[in-house]
Structure 1
């Protein structure tokens, strides 16, 4: 019966590899979702930092603007209280009192709407006549002028009657402004106050210059430090500007873990899955596979229960295999016992047949001695030779090795020795049989026809020699191995040039020889040049050869 092998549709992969692929596909959507959510959370946090930095800038700018606005309020109050300023004594007193009240200013100048001085304080840096004229002509009520030196001018302008003060200008040194603004910077954090393109309070971050005309918020990275969020922009009172720095939030461990969690989960799942499969599936399967291979190699004592791991399924498979192995071992033991007994009985049968044939040979020999006439005696001798050949075959069948078969070399030598003793009595010829034998083994089915074939051909040669009046006969027997089996060759000058044993001949020897050749499924070839008879025969197959040829029809002798 032919077996059908079912094969998979694709290349084989290890169980660990397939598990890794399955876990990857299963965890990939979850990992991607978690990574997206973590990234979105971090992005939201960074955007919130920008908003917080802008709020911080606006809060600080409002405080600085309020501080400067207070100075303008003081100047506006001094401008409105202009009574008696034309009097020198009143002017000096009013100016001195005003400077005492306003800590920011170093000098004061009152002027009319045309920029002509009306009253001024003593000492200090004051604006020039041209600057007063320009400030009086300004349309805005409040102005701040920085001429680029170490002081600035605060100016307040209001409408007034002709000849009355309509402009007041106060001088403030940069150092005094810095002293007041540092207090604010200390309360508001990392702050830089700009006067034009010069930083008068605080140290700007590396790479940050004076702000332009718009508020900008950006993230600045410094080597070896965390990111900072910098907001820069002008104040409402020009040319003041402001820069605030808010430290960027460091990436917390929870954020890092949230980002790395999908990858860590994937790797952990792969490792745990691989370890579980290796521990509970792959290793037990490998151990059981090794046991099955050892069992197939002939180790009947292999059991899988100790190598099946700890899973119920593996243990069930191992117990089933062990039970099957035990049943097969018991059955094999029973078969071996029965086979041993059968061999003993077969040998006993061959032994008894050999003994019976020897008795028959002895009886024929006794009867031949009492026969009257040479022809009757020779007939008894021919029968005795055939029965003796069969007896010798049964003796070697009794000695047959189960693995190698019948030793054809020893059988031939034993048969030739027996023929050398019996032929002189039957044929009145003294034979000399020379053997050239290669060691071969044949089966029981081939032993009997080969023994009869050798006996009949040698006896026929003796008969031909006796008919020619020869008293001596030389016969050469060659046995050798060929590519297809064994070859038997019997050579003697007594055969002559004619094939007297051809299948078309009617004499008894020819018929017997033809029958034996048919049993061997061979062909008898006569070579008149030597002259020789040659026949090929099958050999006993080796056990491994028998297994490889199982299922084919055996030839005779296999």
Structure 2
């Protein structure tokens, strides 16, 4: 039985469909909770990125104001000798890396600046560019550019990643976050997430002042774990578990015992006593009663089978005895005919006795071969029947035909007794006809199965003595013709005669 058509599968399907609404309600509730958590996380992320952008904008504005005062004073020649030192002290107080800054005039001469060497990334011809902010992703700096009012002096302030991260770090407790500054196609990652294995990212951006700088805050979900996956699919697991438990209980208590009982019944062989309860263990009393009923039925069947087997054995012995007695009686008749033939002095009487004896011997050969094949119940073997019959015919042949040769070519075929008797008589009649016509001739008997019909075979008897001679015609008219016609009718097939080649052919039924 296919699995999808079994009662167990149908029961599981019914329980699954019955519990499906509860599972769907739980799943919708779980998804709604996840959606609410995502909205809360997005709102928190929006607040955080806006707060970080404001803090970073305020920090840049404060430094730009100090830089603007310094470059204007230098351009107006009102700056004292300690003004650069005060600017360095102010920037160092804001930046843990020391607040690097560098002030140049139009001739490329450095007027003031930090003691550390200037990072690479801003060429000399680009110092007076119009952009207020430049991102340098490769060295990892953001450059703030401030020009004097007369555009003759410029100040460049460099902010490292660490300083930008400390300023833009959101106050909210967002785990596994990443800050990125973008300016057109350029992007500089300010901070990295804490976890290497990152899940689904969520990003929001806010613009700084100047507006061509974009601050992006990305928060990565924790990596998917088995516990998180199970918590997500917990409603479906509960729905499936409820259906599986219901199916398991029904299957163990009812379906599986019935399946085992069916297998025991299907494996039952006549004569055995079925004991299904030895392999079927179930608390269901109805199934136990059904198993006991099968056991009682098989006990009765076994008893009847034993009685029938005894009766069949007795019948087989009686049939064997009948065949044995018929064979013995035919042999006694053949012996009596032989004794009478010896006491006869008229040649015609002797030939008549011999002719009768040959036919009795043919019938005796059929019974003997049928008796030999009786145990296997496969009919009479054609090859052994024709061989023994040919030997018997040569033994009872007239003196002038004792050297009459018979060649046999036969497939390994079997025929029923109803076919074997007329076949034996047909062969006897034709052999006797050939012996009387040409005693010193020879004969070929062949029996082959027809390729187009496994249940049919062709019996072909050929001899030069059976050609269309006057002697053959006379013998057929006087005696043999009517017998051959009657035998062919008994075999339910026409007997074909080729007088020119001396052949007789007929189709007989065989056991496939």
Matched, 1:395 2:363: no
TM-score scaled by structure 2?
0.54
Residue-by-residue CA offset, 1:112-152 (whole Å, 9 max, x unaligned): xxxxxxxxxxxxxxxxxxxxxxxxxxxxxxxxxxxxxxxxx
CA distance 1:422–1:265, change in 2 (3 Å): same
Task: Note the C-alpha offset of 1:302.
Answer: 5.5
Residue 309 of structure 1 aligns to a residue whose secondary structure is coil
- Alignment counterpart, residue 6 of structure 2, candidates 4, 7, 14: 14
Q: Say which SS state the counterpart of residue 472 (structure 1) adopts.
A: coil
What residue in structure 1 maps to residue 388 of structure 2?
A: 414
Please list the CA deviations of residues 177-205 of structure 1 after superposition, one character each: whole Å capped at 9, or x if unmatched: xxxxxxxxxxxxxxxxxxxxxxxxxxxxx
| Residue pairs, 1:472-551, within 5 angstroms | 472-483=440-451, 484=453, 485-497=456-468, 506-541=477-512
Q: 1:30 to 1:428 in 2, by over 3 A?
A: closer
SS class of match (1:308)? coil
Distance 1:261 1:428 in 2: 103
Q: Is 1:26 matched up with 2:18? A: yes
- SS of 2:267's equivalent in the other structure is helix
Give the total of aligned pairs: 330
CA separation of 1:486/1:373 partners in 2, compared to 1, >3 Å: closer, same or farther? same
Once the two structures are overlaid, the 10-residue window that deviates more, 489-498 or 315-324, is 315-324
Identify if the C-alpha distance between structure 1 residues 385 and 317 changes in structure 2 by more than 3 Å, giving closer, same or farther. Answer: same
Whole-angstrom distance in 2 between the partners of 1:376 and 1:17: 87
Q: What does 1:79-158 align with in structure 2 at a 5 Å threshold? A: none
CA contact under 8 A between 2:394 and 2:404: conserved in structure 1?
yes
Query: Which one of 306, 309, 324 corresponds to residue 278 of structure 2?
Result: 306
CA distance in 2, matches of 1:325, 1:507: 66
In structure 2, C-alpha distance between the alignment counterparts of 1:40 and 1:387, rounded to whole Å: 103
Give me the whole-angstrom Cα distance separating, in 2, the residues matched to 1:332 and 1:301: 11
Structure 1, residues 291-344: CA drift from partner, whole Å, max 9, x if none? 344336x79466423233313343344333333333333333322222221121
Q: How far apart, CA to CA, are the structure 1 residues paired with 2:471 and 2:235?
A: 98
Offset, 1:393:
1.5
Residue matched to 1:295: 268
Distance 1:507 1:280, change over 3 A: farther
Partners of 1:363 and 1:443 in 2: CA distance: 29
The equivalences for 1:252-401 within 5 A come to 263-295=236-268, 300=272, 303-310=275-282, 311-401=284-374
Deviations 1:83-113 (A, max 9, x none): xxxxxxxxxxxxxxxxxxxxxxxxxxxxxxx
Q: Is the 8 A contact 1:393 1:411 kept in 2?
A: yes
- Other structure's SS at 1:533 match: strand
Q: Which residue of 2 aligns with 1:448?
A: 421
Is the 1:424–1:431 Cα contact (8 Å) retained in structure 2? Answer: no
2:243 partner SS: helix
Q: How far did 1:261 drift?
A: 7.6
Query: Structure 2 CA distance, aligned partners of 1:271 and 1:424?
Result: 92
Instruction: Check conservation: 1:525, 1:533, Cα contact below 8 A.
Output: yes
- In 1, the alpha carbon distance for the partners of 2:317 and 2:483 equals 32
Q: 1:376 to 1:336 in 2, by over 3 A?
A: same
Q: Distance in 1 between matches of 2:500 and 2:317?
A: 48
Aligned CA distance change for structure 1 residues 457 and 347 (closer, same or farther; 3 Å): same
**Alpha-carbon distance between aligned partners in 2 of 1:259 and 1:461, rounded to the nearest angstrom:** 101
Equivalent residue number for residue 189 of structure 2 = none
Larger radius of gyration: 1
CA distance in 2, matches of 1:20, 1:377: 91
Q: Which residue of 2 aligns with 1:130?
A: none
Partner Cα distance (2:502, 2:292) in 1? 70
**1: CA distance, partners of 2:508 / 2:396:** 26
SS in 2 for 1:540: coil
Change (3 A) 1:307 1:384: same
Whether contact under 8 Å (1:431, 1:473) holds in the other structure is yes
Report which stretch shifted further, 412-421 or 355-364: 355-364
Gapped runs of 5+ residues in structure 2?
37-168, 178-229
CA–CA distance in structure 2, aligned partners of residues 329 and 512 of structure 1: 52
Distance 1:500 1:31, change over 3 A: farther
Change (3 A) 1:35 1:294: closer
Q: How far does residue 36 in structure 1 lie from its aligned partner after superposition?
A: 7.2
| Counterpart Cα distance in 2 of 1:331 and 1:411 | 39
Aligned CA-pair RMSD: 4.3
**CA distances 1:363-383 after superposition (whole Å, capped 9, x unpaired):** 222222333422222112111
2:407 — aligned with what?
434
Q: Which residue of 2 aligns with 1:168?
A: none
Give the drift of 1:258.
12
The TM-score normalised by the length of structure 1 is 0.50
Please give the per-residue CA displacement for 1:367-420, whole angstroms capped at 9, x wherever unaligned.
Answer: 223334222221121111111211221222221233422222212111111100
Q: Report if the CA contact (8 A) 2:276-2:291 is conserved.
A: yes
SS of 1:526 mapped into structure 2? strand
- Any gaps of 5 or more consecutive residues in structure 1? 1-7, 45-205, 209-219, 226-256, 466-470, 542-558
